[in-house]
Structure 1
Amino acid sequence: MTLQEQLRGTGVALVTPFKANGAIDWNALEKTIQHVISGGVEYVVTLGTTGETPTLSSDEKLDIMKFTFEKVSKRVPVVVGIGDYNTADVIKRLETCPLDEAAAILSVAPYYSKPTQEGIFQHYKAIAKASPKPIILYNVPGRTGRNMTAATTLRIAKEVENVVAMKEASGDVVQCMHILKDRPRDFLVISGDDAVAMPQVATGMDGLISVAANWYAKEVSDMIRATLAGDLATARSLQYKLLDGFELMFAENNPAGIKAFMAIGGLLENAFRLPVVPVSDSLYQNIEAYMKQF
């Protein structure tokens, strides 16, 4: 199976469970990995933003990556998140991390420094050259402070070797369609927005890297598979069943929202590292009510 085939469908951006004292809850992480794989996701993504990576030490990131490889045990592909606004640091990590078992690297566009489009292009060109694994671009301007335009995405896709896909989370459907219209044939475009992934896949995107699938693994995976298969009646039914849940999940913060769902469902403690805090009591109660009637 080609990498493009492996990454077509649903990936899940794994949370990092913590205990009340702030330590990583390894038992809960194993339970989460088992839950999403049994739910039918096509692959998992470790060390993304949903995993609260800004609060993890370098040693903890390495331990989580190794633990994920071990517990997944090659049942599904594992994508590893390695991104930063320091290009040289990303290259160093790509050259030194034990990535033999990784299918690909998800690397977020440089954040905070707000580079020009040329700066974004040169950043990805440099890390793609250094990476031992294929790169998935990640555009999430709500977090990075800078949108990667369709023109820049297409320039990278056409000119930079070792870049195979794009996780698009700009929320701009027209931008996504411009990428889809002119992309190279084997370049994947993957949604990064749970709430609009179904219509995005219906326009030609190749799947979703999901937050919601940490809890609703089966429902989200079934929705994306149905959309890819052209069974829009089934896909729409699942989309509208999940829609209120998506809105609750992202009402205040990610991953605070999805962790509330998972805590209510018994997968993990509702625990975080600052500056992330739990959702408000009122939102937590609304999530409980939604889950009871789901």
Structure 2
Amino acid sequence: MHLTPTAAGVFPIAPTPFAADGSLDWASAERLFAWYDGLGADGTTVLGIMGEAPKLEPEESLRIVKVAVAGMPGKPVIVGVSAPGFAAMRRLARDAMEAGAAAVMIAPPPSLRTDDQITGYYGQAIEAIGADIPFVIQDYPLTLSVIMTPAVIRRIVMDNPSCVMLKHEDWPGLEKISALRRFEADGSLRHISILTGNGGLFLDFEMERGADGAMTGYAFPEMLIDTVALQKAGRRDDAHDLFDAHLPLLRYEQQPGAGLAVRKYTLMRRGILASDAQRKPGAGLTPAAKAEVDYLLARLARKDARAAL
């Protein structure tokens, strides 16, 4: 299976489950991907920033890919392969595709500054991994500090036929989505899928600007799935009503440095992960923060029964 530019829907970004001692919790990993599949997710993404990819050994990374492919049969698995050097990127990309992945995701290194540096980097990366592998551009300037204008994204897409998707995480980024869809309308950009991130914080309006869905790690992916479906069905108010009910927890998850801890804690409370542990270095939540998350979950349960724990 290869990812195509028509991909749409919700691709939850999977956290990597760890036990308290830092070892990988494979039982929780299997449960996580089976859960995504059962919810109706359209695919998943592994080894992203939320997946603590730099903390994994190569053998662990590849096994995560295999568990995801097995847990979501017939659905595309996207694999983050960003690395300091192209040799490691190529090895993981080729091994992941051989293991059944549908595409890879490449983020620009923070050292890139000019438009030519950015487009040149992607050209070199595709030369390294091979033009036969579909790839996703990860545009996340808040974390990566690399600014990609719509024109730069257009250059990358048009220069590299194997580019099939943009993971859009600019903030604010609504106008960027609109600009890219205008390029498509005037014929200067071929169609690619646009899935959005940022914990889903702007998904309600991103769908209205032309996004095809979400690729993010919010601990209630079923809300993302429902919001996307409602927007596609033209039920704007229903989509916003559901989204607004989750907004306090979405906001809490978006705290810099604490988002992954909040998500893992919530997934543990939901019975998906056995532990909310992160592999070191990584910080957990204080008792006060856990109490605040519990409070938000209790409030959310009044409007969405799926939050009743």
Structure-1-length-normalised TM-score: 0.91
Please name the residue that 2:118 is paired with: 120
SS in 2 for 1:165: strand
Number of the residue aligned with 1:190: 195
- Provide the identity percentage: 21
Q: Quick one: distance in 1 between partners of 2:87 and 2:179?
A: 31
| Counterpart for residue 63 of structure 1 | 63
Instruction: Give the corresponding residue for 2:41.
Output: 41
Shift of 1:153: 0.3
C-alpha spacing 1:71/1:189, structure 2 compared with 1 (3 Å): closer
Displacement after TM superposition at 1:289 (Å): 1.2
Residue 97 of structure 1: CA displacement? Answer: 4.2
Q: 2:250 aligns with which of 246, 250, 253?
A: 246
Contact 1:50 1:211 in 2 (8 A): yes
Paired position in structure 2 for 1:274:
280
Alignment of structure 1 residues 1-294 onto 2, 5 Å: 3-5=4-6, 7-74=7-74, 76-99=75-98, 101-111=100-110, 113-129=111-127, 130-172=130-172, 173-183=174-184, 184-193=189-198, 194-212=200-218, 215-251=219-255, 252-268=257-273, 269-294=275-300
C-alpha distance after superposition, 1:75-111 (max 9, x if no partner): x211111112423432343344443522211111223
CA shift for structure 1 position 121: 0.8
The structural deviation recorded for 1:159 is: 2.1
Letter paired with 1:209? M
CA RMSD between the two structures: 1.9
* Contact 2:43 2:72 survives alignment (8 Å): no
Whichever residue aligns with residue 143 of structure 1, its letter is T
- Paired residue secondary structure (2:23): coil
TM-score between both structures, scaled by the size of structure 2? 0.87
Where does the alignment leave 5 or more consecutive residues of structure 2 unmatched? 301-309
* Aligned-partner Cα distance in 2 for 1:291–1:165: 33
Whole-Å Cα distance in 2 between the matches of residues 120 and 37 of structure 1?
35
Matched length? 289
Quote the Cα distance in structure 2 between the aligned partners of 1:115 and 1:59. Answer: 33
